């Protein structure tokens, strides 16, 4: 199965360490043995789909820096179309100590860009369109009114199109897509998204499929000591794959809930 992933590519950096007060004049210091690097955003979606055994084409942007090189190493054999057109690769750094998140630092340059969506459209038109498309929207500039026409052309291919949206004022660009996968907080902030279905993730409670005026709950099994970073990405992957395999929206949501449960139950990266 061939899946296109279009969206905001980023690198997740984590440090598991110990908190030290007033260390060498620093207001906050966390020391640990090593950094951990993981694909983030659209890159995480692509890595998970590859881990499921599918062919993946990733369309996103990076900068001319060490983070882009690290992503290249992590993504390996994924066919991807990332060009160094940003001032810097988007990086999310999280530092944990005493089993809690102590600090987060984001490096990002949010500028409207058209290349990822246009490149995906060109690739799909010049070859065989993919079996599914994931729009991974983290609000970092890939999506917006400036790419509405290209997004609509991709939706018109007719394959399952799954949107991981963020509350914004340009949701109309996704009109007609198969499904959106907001979490509950995002869903409460979405004024209107005209996808065929909206599948809302409810964390440890599973998901709820909204179709017109109908809703159906998709329960899940509780997971002890779950790691939640990337949980939404894993659900989006499962839903896209389920739909591409011919399942209806409810069967696909059940598959997505099951896959996301497996993801959060394991150490980060175990399913890549």
What is the arithmetic mean of pLDDT over 63-91? 88
Which of these ranges, 64-78, 128-142, 154-168, has the smallest mean pLDDT? 64-78
d(CA 247, CA 237): 14
**pLDDT, tens only, 20-38:** 777 777 777 888 888 899 9
- Assign residue 207 the CATH number of its domain: 3.40.1190.20
pLDDT above 90 for 3: yes
Q: Is 112 helix (H, G, I), strand (E, B) or coil?
A: coil
Q: Indicate the number of domains in the chain.
A: 1
Q: Is residue 154 part of a domain?
A: yes
Q: Which pLDDT value is given to residue 269?
A: 67
Tokens of 72: 């290249």
Q: Is 5 helix (H, G, I), strand (E, B) or coil?
A: strand
pTM of the model: 0.93
pLDDT above 80 for 77: no
Q: Angle at the Cα of 39 (from 78 to 41), degrees rounded to 5?
A: 100
Q: Is residue 272 part of a domain?
A: no
d(CA 114, CA 218): 36
Q: Is residue 22 part of a domain?
A: no
Q: Is residue 60 part of a domain?
A: yes
Tell which residue, 178, 149, 150, 146, has the closest CA to residue 165: 178
Tell which residue, 245, 165, 250, 181, has the closest CA to residue 215: 250
Q: Is residue 26 part of a domain?
A: no
The pLDDT-based confidence of 266 (bands split at 50, 70, 90) is confident
**pLDDT, tens only, 86-119:** 889 999 999 888 778 888 899 988 889 999 999 9
Q: Is residue 71 part of a domain?
A: yes
Q: Is residue 160 part of a domain?
A: yes
Which of these ranges, 82-91, 224-233, 258-267, has the smallest mean pLDDT? 224-233
Q: Is residue 201 part of a domain?
A: yes
> What is the residue range of 194's domain?
2-10+40-88+108-264
What is the arithmetic mean of pLDDT over 35-53? 94
């Amino acid at each position: 199965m061939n899946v296109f992933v279009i969206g905001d590519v980023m690198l997740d950096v984590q440090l598991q360490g110990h908190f030290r007060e007033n260390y060498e004049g620093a207001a906050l210091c966390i020391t640990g043995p090593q950094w951990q690097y993981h694909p983030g955003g659209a890159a995480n979606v692509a890595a998970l789909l590859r881990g499921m055994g599918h062919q993946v084409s990733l369309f996103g942007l990076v900068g001319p820096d060490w983070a882009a090189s690290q992503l290249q190493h992590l993504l390996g054999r994924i066919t991807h179309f990332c060009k160094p057109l940003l001032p810097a690769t988007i990086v999310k750094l999280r530092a944990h100590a005493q089993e809690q998140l102590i600090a987060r630092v984001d490096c990002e340059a949010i500028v409207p860009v058209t290349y990822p969506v246009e490149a995906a459209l060109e690739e799909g038109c010049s070859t065989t369109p993919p079996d599914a498309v994931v729009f991974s929207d983290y609000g970092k500039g890939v999506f917006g009114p400036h790419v509405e026409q290209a997004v609509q052309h991709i939706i018109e291919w007719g394959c399952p199109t799954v949107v991981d949206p963020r509350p914004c004022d340009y949701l109309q660009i996704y009109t007609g897509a198969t499904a959106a996968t907001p979490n509950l907080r995002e869903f409460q902030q979405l004024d209107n998204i005209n996808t065929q279905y909206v599948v809302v993730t409810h964390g440890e409670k599973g998901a709820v499929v909204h179709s017109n005026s109908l809703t159906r709950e998709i329960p899940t099994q509780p997971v002890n000591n779950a790691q939640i970073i990337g949980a939404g990405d894993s659900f989006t992957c499962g839903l896209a794959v389920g739909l591409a395999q011919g399942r209806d929206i409810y069967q696909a949501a059940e598959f997505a809930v099951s896959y996301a449960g497996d993801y959060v139950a394991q150490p980060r990266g175990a399913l890549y």
